[in-house]
Amino acid sequence: MDDTQIKHVLEAALLAAGRPLNLDKLGELFAKRSRPDQQSLTSVLEMLAADYEGRGIELKEVASGYRVQIKQSMIDTLTPLWEDPAPRYSRALLETLALIAYRQPITRGDIEDVRGVAVTTNIIRSLLEREWIRVVGHRDVPGKPAMFGTTREFLDYFGLKKLDDLPSLSEIKDLGDLDVALEFLEPSGQIDLVDDLEIEQSSVAAHVELETLQLPTKVEPGDATVVPISGPEPR
């Protein structure tokens, strides 16, 4: 099977899957005797990405693998195709998510100390239900508070391969910019709206800027003692 045939198989698989596919999963599409190695698959994927240059779609590598998606420049034009409105996340939810992303592992109490207002259960539940965050352990202090970190689903949703790909804080002057910096449309074209659960806090949170949150410019492990939770590693 030549590279062109392999490229056609990979393209069809990525369009049909509706989710990112890693090299192992893509390799399983081929018979063992003719299965290309990962270096060959990567080379063909680069060819496919080059084919999409100048078009309305692109090949994107995210945490879980590769996917074909529409380009950011096409979102406004294609918005009428979707019945659901674009998501509008509350200021409080974005601040909470930003703190978890940049300061993980972090507890709910740590987040409240930085933001200066309470983090409601609804915010944490919404982030957990969307599988953007998970409990990575418990701090070894009285009460054993849960410590949160981001997930592969978080990286996939926002089009990131790894945490180092997060926009640097020097690029984000205000929390309002975070919605744009982390803007990504789900591959299915359908986005569930996250309810604005913190309306009563928005008047306070609206004046909080990233610079005042004292977030580090690089993701570093927390300095607290973490008691790992049992169970398998995340997918």
Report DSSP state, residue 22: -
Nearest-angstrom CA–CA distance, 227 and 230: 9
Nearest of 139, 212, 201, 136 to residue 175 by alpha carbon: 212
User: For the residues 85-96, what does the mean pLDDT come to?
Assistant: 81
Q: Match 């529409």 to its residue by tokens.
A: 70
Do residues 31 and 121 both lie within one domain? no
pTM exceeds 0.85: no
Do residues 178 and 224 both lie within one domain? yes
Tell me what percent of the residues of the chain surpass a pLDDT of 90: 50
Do residues 118 and 221 both lie within one domain? yes
pLDDT in tens, 17-67: 989 999 999 999 998 888 999 999 999 999 999 999 999 999 999 999 999
Using CA atoms, how far residue 119 sits from 116, 144, 177, in Å, is 9, 18, 21
Using CA atoms, how far residue 32 sits from 28, 37, 49, 233, in Å, is 8, 10, 25, 29
Q: Looking at 30, 46, 80, which one is the last position of a domain? A: 80
- Count of H helices and E strands in the chain? 10, 6
Report DSSP state, residue 188: T
Do residues 7 and 123 both lie within one domain? no
Nearest-angstrom CA–CA distance, 231 and 235: 12
**Any residues with CB less than 8 A from the CB of 168 and at least 6 apart, and which?**
217
Do residues 99 and 21 both lie within one domain? no
Do residues 145 and 201 both lie within one domain? yes
Using CA atoms, how far residue 151 sits from 37, 163, 190, in Å, is 28, 10, 20
User: Cβ-count burial of 152 within 10 angstroms (0-12 exposed, 13-18 middle, 19+ buried)?
Assistant: middle
Residue 69 lies in a domain: yes
Q: Looking at 55, 80, 105, which one is the last position of a domain? A: 80
The CATH number for 181's domain is 1.10.10.10
Nearest-angstrom CA–CA distance, 187 and 62: 12
Q: Is the pLDDT of residue 176 over 80?
A: no
**Quick one: pLDDT band at residue 174, thresholds 50, 70, 90?**
low
Do residues 114 and 26 both lie within one domain? no
Residue 125's SS3 state is: helix
Do residues 105 and 8 both lie within one domain? no
Residue 96 lies in a domain: yes
Residue 86 lies in a domain: no
What sign does the dihedral 229-151-180-81 (CA atoms) show?
negative
Do residues 33 and 121 both lie within one domain? no
Tell me what percent of the residues of the chain surpass a pLDDT of 70: 70
Exposure string for 78-93, b = 16+ CB within 10 A, e = fewer: eeeeeeeeeeebbbbb
Which stretches of 40-175 are assigned E, i.e. beta strand?
Answer: 57-62, 65-70, 106-107, 133-139, 146-150
Residue 235 lies in a domain: no
Do residues 76 and 95 both lie within one domain? no
**Quick one: pLDDT band at residue 83, thresholds 50, 70, 90?**
confident
Do residues 156 and 176 both lie within one domain? yes
Do residues 105 and 125 both lie within one domain? yes
Nearest-angstrom CA–CA distance, 176 and 159: 19
Find the domain containing 96 and state its range: 91-228
Nearest-angstrom CA–CA distance, 4 and 230: 46
The confidence score (pLDDT) of residue 132 equals 95
The confidence score (pLDDT) of residue 178 equals 54
Q: Match 């449309």 to its residue by tokens.
A: 185
Domain count for the chain: 2
The confidence score (pLDDT) of residue 32 equals 83
Residue 50 lies in a domain: yes
pLDDT in tens, 218-234: 333 443 344 444 344 44
Residue 119 lies in a domain: yes
Top pLDDT among 216 and 59 is at 59
pLDDT in tens, 111-129: 999 888 999 999 999 999 9
Top pLDDT among 120 and 86 is at 120
Q: What is the mean pLDDT of the chain?
A: 77
Residue 72 lies in a domain: yes
Q: Is the pLDDT of residue 179 over 60?
A: no
Contact 113, 198 (CB under 8 A): no
Residue 85 lies in a domain: no
Q: Looking at 29, 45, 80, which one is the last position of a domain? A: 80
Q: Match 């879980």 to its residue by tokens.
A: 64
